[in-house]
């Protein structure tokens, strides 16, 4: 049984798109080693999250890579997923404009505030954290 609109032909490379949760210029971190490298690099705190960032040396010509994490301190699975959805959305809107290519960023959610903070304030927090992180360094 096929979904409506499918003609039975195999999918083409154009029909296979990047995850809609992130922008096309962003790649999602999936390897634990990448998260550990970011944890040892720069960090900037914001009211609703912590931002970790590192400049890649192994493949600096690549685009922006982003990772998201929320520990059990954030809450149950529903609360963690809500917090990560909000972090993914602010990353999708702000990082293509304010992030730097060749960098890895990890957003770490905080209990209560990540899920409940005003969305415009979350976006402003990310812009401010990125400005501070890149201000005195190139």
Q: What is the pLDDT of residue 23?
A: 54
Question: Is it true that domain 26-131 has CATH number 3.30.230.10?
Answer: yes
Which residue pairs, CB below 8 angstroms and at least 24 apart, start in 6-10?
none
What percent of the chain shows pLDDT beyond 70? 80
Give dist(CA 70, CA 87) in Å, integer.
10
β-bridge pairing 64-69 and 103-109: parallel
- What average pLDDT does range 14-21 have in this prediction? 44
The tokens of 38 are what? Answer: 């970011």
Q: Please report the pLDDT score of residue 22 as a whole number.
A: 52
Q: What is the mean pLDDT of residues 5-9?
A: 57
pLDDT confidence tier of residue 5, bands split at 50, 70 and 90: low
Band (10; pLDDT cuts 50, 70, 90): very low
Mean pLDDT over each residue of the chain, to the nearest integer = 84
pTM of the model: 0.78
The DSSP bridge pattern shows strands 42-45 and 103-109 to be unpaired
Per-domain residue ranges for the chain?
A: 26-131
Cα diameter, the chain: 58
Residue 90 in this model has a pLDDT that exceeds 50: yes
19 pLDDT tier (thresholds 50, 70, 90): very low
């Amino acid at each position: 049984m096929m979904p409506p609109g499918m003609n039975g032909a195999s999918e083409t490379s154009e029909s296979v798109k990047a995850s809609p949760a992130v922008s096309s210029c962003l790649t999602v971190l999936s390897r634990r080693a990448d998260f550990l490298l970011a944890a040892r690099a720069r960090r900037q705190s914001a009211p609703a999250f912590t931002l970790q960032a590192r400049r890649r040396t192994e493949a600096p010509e690549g685009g922006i890579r982003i990772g998201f994490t929320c520990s059990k301190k954030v809450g149950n699975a529903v609360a963690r997923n809500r917090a990560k959805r909000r972090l993914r959305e602010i990353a999708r809107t702000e990082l293509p404009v304010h992030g730097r290519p060749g960098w890895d960023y990890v957003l770490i959610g905080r209990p209560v505030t990540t899920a409940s903070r005003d969305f415009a304030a979350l976006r402003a927090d990310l812009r401010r954290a990125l400005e501070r992180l890149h201000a005195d360094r190139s």
